[in-house]
Amino acid sequence: MKWSDAHLTDVLVIGAGLAGERVAIEAATQGHQVTILSLVPPRRSHSTAAQGGMQASLGNVAMGYGDNPDIHFADTVKGSDWGCDQEVARLFCNLAPVAVRQMAQWGVPWSRVVPGKRLLPEGVEVEELQEKAGLIAQRQFGGTAKWRTCFAADGTGHVLQYAMDSVVVKLGVTVHDRMEAIALIHDGEHCYGAVALSLRDGSLRPYLAKAVVIATGGYGRIYGVSTNAVINEGTGMSICLDTGVVPLGNMEAVQFHPTGIVPAGILVTEGCRGDGGYLLDKNLHRFMPDYEPVKKEVASRDVVSRWMLHHMSKGLGVDSPYGPHLWLDIRHLGKEHICVNLREVHAICANFLGIDCVEELIPVRPTQHYSMGGIRTDVNGAAYGLQGLFAAGEAACWDLHGFNRLGGNSLAETIVAGMVVGEQVARYAGERSLEFPFALVADAMAAQEDRVSKLRSRSGGSEDVYRLRKGMEDALLNNVGIFRTGEALEKAVSILQELYQRSANIRLRSSGLGPNPELYAALRLPGTLKLALCIAQGALQRTESRGSHYREDYPHRDDENWLKRTLAYWPPGADMPRLEYEPVKITELPPGDRGYGGMPIKGD
Amino acid sequence: MSRFLNFSIFRYNPATPEIPPRMQDFQLDETPNMSLFIALNRLREEQDPSLMFDFVCRAAVCGSCAMLINGRPGLACKTLTQDLPDKITLMPLPVFKLVGDLSVDTGVWFRGLNENLEAWIHTDKPFDPQGLEDRMDNPTAHAIYDAERCIECGSCIAACATANMRADFIGAAGLNRVARFLIDPRDERQPYQVFEVVGTDEGVFGCIGLMACDDICPMEIPLQQQLALVRRKMALASLKGK
């Protein structure tokens, strides 16, 4: 490496989805030089796939009148099953309306309130008032007391990302796409930058910055079936874990979305149910009111997913070559509503199921969707363990979501966290001078060059990267799903430990030269296996049920022993994570009843 | 009856220029509902792990996987093999810089386009964090959304005769982006200001009217209408001036 190959910047943002770009905008607006690294061009980030919307308590629609940040806060805390950080949740709920309105100013074509009376699918008549005409419209999402989810048809993530990126382009922020950060440069106290791998040609390059921000999203793809984009392998989380000093919080908190289509696993938005869609079983019976008489299909995602699996375990699922599923029925919403407010769902059904969802039922099943856990940060987004390292969005455990995220709170989190963390990053970078720790950079580069050249020399063992990855995907899918038991979790841990050992002996079948996907997969796999072990081990040790973490052998929430957050560290050279725990901050709302999902639910 | 599919795939790795660009044949057994996403991943994992291609969302919303499928630009993720003959030829999109095999660099191209068009809301209005949002009627919001659905996959650029001949032509994706801002009341640019940027042969008057863009847009954006809208507005602007 030539020293002049190093890229110097004030702020290095890793990840160009909504959270990363919002941080970048804040820092750039305050006069810092910002460089964004991204696996893909920003407008291809997984944020663009978010459909349904973004929660903010505007109170613009009839079913949302009287809404305010207090109600949003209570919904969020209940949704999290009291696992969230209430200081963060309060900050978030207060700022979400500002975030939505700023995105309007930046060009998001939010759907708007049309005054007049209309009949909701269940027969209730509501009237949208003239005085609210043209304000941002809101729809219902699960686990909320008010209709609060702002939307642009069902392409909300797409239009948010395009508006956000338009500001990045306007500000001239540097973006290096097809670059993957594969190691952080640090001395155990400070983070100085990252070593990045070019996905264009397989070369390595160091990036040095006063502040480094991880905004790489979730790890959904380490599960065999996920709604996530194929780039979501948790790489940002694993390079933090690799430092040995930065912990990941609540990795056992994994969200399964009720409506992934079968078999492709592609998401259809919660807006389908929020707008009045039903879940039906093989007898075309609408079963959710049997289990949740009040919230019905719009209880929180963890609860609806559990009831769906429970219902299928009674033999009431629809048989298919891809295993049992249930039906999502939106036909009664009518063609006009579907082709306007749910048009991307309509397209997905046509493209990937070959059906017209105006006329036909949609086959669905709960599918891995979101990681509540991630890089543990304080309320300012500063990562535990290393100064100068920050995280935001799904990659972070800021901890807005605790053990279950509400639909519509992730898009909102990416932008609000981007604002808050961006402000802190800008302040931090303003107080520091750029350092070039030559020895650290040389060592970090040499370590990664060594990994790459060993793989390219094909001198190691005989393990196939794709086979090992398949083993990891299956271990998580089969043993660390919606219903969990001590026995299955122990099995997962032991399989994953073995795979982790074997991942040191990967041998490439191809040359590994140039933009080589096998090399990239081989470099990633040990890190993703570490994440898988944090998830499985965290779930095994947590002997209670809370939100999405449901233990059949411990079916109740246990606030006495488990009102705490898991912190997973990976000591250098270890073969397992070390788990520690910290208390959950309760500032306003003491633990109580969620109002849904109250009784123990059985799996199969 | 399951078929055996015969793939003919363009191969070139810039890291090994001594091996010239070539077509390589692969065979694969077809499974029900097989998409090119599934097929290409199986080819990579089972037959040739060096095979380069791009997928991100695999749900036809991110625009990463456009390629020439039997000569026609389209999104590989939503193309089902059952809709293709048993001989399938895959080539990278033309116009864009090749990364390797089926992978092309659309990201840098579109960033340049958006910089040239200054494709962001131009307004002098300061943001008031305490204020309500400006009102907009819902049909206007929907009209903007219609244009904003473009996923910058590059299919319309690859299919465009002008873009293939003239490197600086902004193409249907660019013209659609212009239309999106022209109809947005929040953007304070006047038509004559837009005319100065796109009232040229590189812009709106470069189109020779073959309209392949409109035929192949995977998002089914009415590009012909959008082009007509921009041309009308630009023709008017050139007559009216400031």
pLDDT at B241 over 80: no
Query: With an 8 Å Cβ cutoff, are A49 and B142 in contact?
Result: no
> With a CB-CB cutoff of 8 Å, which residues 5-64 of chain A face chain B?
40-46, 48-49
Q: What are phi and psi of A286, to 5 degrees?
A: -80, 105
Q: What is the pLDDT of residues A500-527, one digit of tens each?
A: 999 999 999 999 999 999 999 999 999 9
Residue B164 belongs to a domain: yes
Residue B143 belongs to a domain: yes
Edge-to-edge order in the sheet of strand A578-583: A396-397, A374-376, A248-249, A564-569, A578-583
Residue with tokens 């999109």: B93
Query: With an 8 Å Cβ cutoff, are A44 and B107 in contact?
Result: yes
Q: Is B151 found in the same domain as B129?
A: yes
Find which of B114, B124, B145 to mutate to test the A interface (most A CBs within 10 Å of its CB).
B145
A143-A148-A153-A159 Cα dihedral, nearest 10 degrees: -110
Residue with tokens 């392949």: B212
> With a CB-CB cutoff of 8 Å, which residues 84-123 of chain A face chain B?
98, 100-102, 104-107, 109-114
Q: What is the pLDDT of residue A459?
A: 85
Cα A248 to Cα A230: distance, rounded to the nearest angstrom: 22
> With a CB-CB cutoff of 8 Å, which residues 182-221 of chain B face chain A?
184, 186-187
The nearest CA of chain A is from the CA of B237 a distance in Å of: 24
Q: Residue A438 CB: number of other CB atoms within 10 A?
A: 10
Query: Could you tell me the pLDDT band of residue A601, with boundaries at 50, 70 and 90?
Result: low
Last residue of a domain, one of B104, B128, B158: B104
Chain B residues near residue A321 by CB distance under 8 angstroms: 32
Cβ–Cβ contact A339 with B under 8 A = no
Which of B31, B24, B73, B27 has the alpha carbon at shortest distance from B52? Answer: B24
Number of structural domains chain B divides into: 2
Q: What is the CATH number of the domain that holds B147?
A: 1.10.1060.10
CB of A555 closer than 8 Å to CB of A545:
yes
Q: What is the pLDDT of residue B238?
A: 85
Cα distances (angstroms) measured from residue A478 to each of A224, A249, A266, A488: 9, 23, 19, 8
Last residue of a domain, one of B104, B136, B154: B104
Residue B98 belongs to a domain: yes
The nearest CA of chain A is from the CA of B135 a distance in Å of: 5
Which of A93, A346, A466 has the alpha carbon at shortest distance from B51? Answer: A466
Q: Residue A406 CB: number of other CB atoms within 10 A?
A: 25
Cα A421 to Cα A426: distance, rounded to the nearest angstrom: 8
Q: Is B125 found in the same domain as B38?
A: no
Q: Is B135 found in the same domain as B54?
A: no
The pTM of the full predicted model, rounded to 2 decimals, is 0.97
Q: What is the pLDDT of residue A604?
A: 52
Cβ–Cβ contact B2 with A under 8 A = no
Query: With an 8 Å Cβ cutoff, are B60 and A516 in contact?
Result: no
Q: Is B137 found in the same domain as B222?
A: yes
Q: What is the pLDDT of residue A603?
A: 60
Query: With an 8 Å Cβ cutoff, are A49 and B61 in contact?
Result: yes
Cβ–Cβ contact B27 with A under 8 A = no
Q: Is B74 found in the same domain as B17?
A: yes
Q: What is the pLDDT of residues B4-53, one digit of tens each?
A: 999 999 999 999 999 999 999 999 999 888 999 999 999 999 999 999 99
Residue B225 belongs to a domain: yes
Q: Residue A446 CA to chain centroid, in angstroms?
A: 32
Cα B86 to Cα B104: distance, rounded to the nearest angstrom: 25
Residue-number span of the structural domain to which B100 is assigned: 4-104
Q: What is the pLDDT of residue A144?
A: 97
Amino acid sitting at position A258: P
Q: What is the pLDDT of residue B196?
A: 84
Which of A514, A556, A526, A534 has the alpha carbon at shortest distance from A451? Answer: A526
Residue B205 belongs to a domain: yes
Q: Is B235 found in the same domain as B128?
A: yes
Residue B48 belongs to a domain: yes
Q: Is B183 found in the same domain as B155?
A: yes
Write out the two tokens for A219: 């790890």
Cα distances (angstroms) measured from residue B207 to each of A81, A153, B95, B201: 57, 31, 16, 8
Last residue of a domain, one of B104, B128, B157: B104
Mean pLDDT of chain A: 96
Q: What is the pLDDT of residue A569?
A: 98
Q: What is the pLDDT of residue A321?
A: 86
Q: Is B212 found in the same domain as B159?
A: yes
Q: Is B175 found in the same domain as B80?
A: no
Q: Which of A186, A273, A325, A551 is catalytic?
A: A273
DSSP string, A188-256: SSBEEEEEEEETTT--EEEEEEEEEEE-----GGGSSSBSS-TT-S-HHHHHHHTTSSSPEE-TT-EEE
Q: Residue A336 CB: number of other CB atoms within 10 A?
A: 9
Cβ–Cβ contact B106 with A under 8 A = yes
Section A34-44 average pLDDT = 98
Q: Is B99 found in the same domain as B129?
A: no
Q: What is the pLDDT of residues A127-137, one digit of tens each?
A: 999 999 999 99
Q: What is the pLDDT of residue A602?
A: 65
Closest CB to A40: pick one of B48, B56, B144: B56
Residue B110 belongs to a domain: no
Q: What is the CATH number of the domain that holds B99?
A: 3.10.20.30
Mean pLDDT of chain B: 95
Element (H, E) at A454: helix A438-457
Q: Is B88 found in the same domain as B128?
A: no
Cα A502 to Cα A491: distance, rounded to the nearest angstrom: 17
Q: What is the pLDDT of residues A176-206, one digit of tens each?
A: 999 999 999 999 999 999 999 999 999 999 9
Q: What is the pLDDT of residues A583-595, one digit of tens each?
A: 999 999 999 999 9
Cα A564 to Cα A249: distance, rounded to the nearest angstrom: 10
Residue B112 belongs to a domain: no
Q: Is B209 found in the same domain as B127?
A: yes
Show Cβ contacts of residue B226 under 8 Å, excluding neighbours closer than 6 positions.
B147, B172, B175, B176, B179
Q: Residue A595 CB: number of other CB atoms within 10 A?
A: 16
Q: What percent of chain B has pLDDT over 70?
A: 99
Whether A273 is catalytic: yes
Q: Which of A257, A369, A502, A551 is catalytic?
A: A257
Q: What is the pLDDT of residues A387-398, one digit of tens each?
A: 999 999 999 999
Alpha helices in A397-437, H assignment, sequence order:
409-431
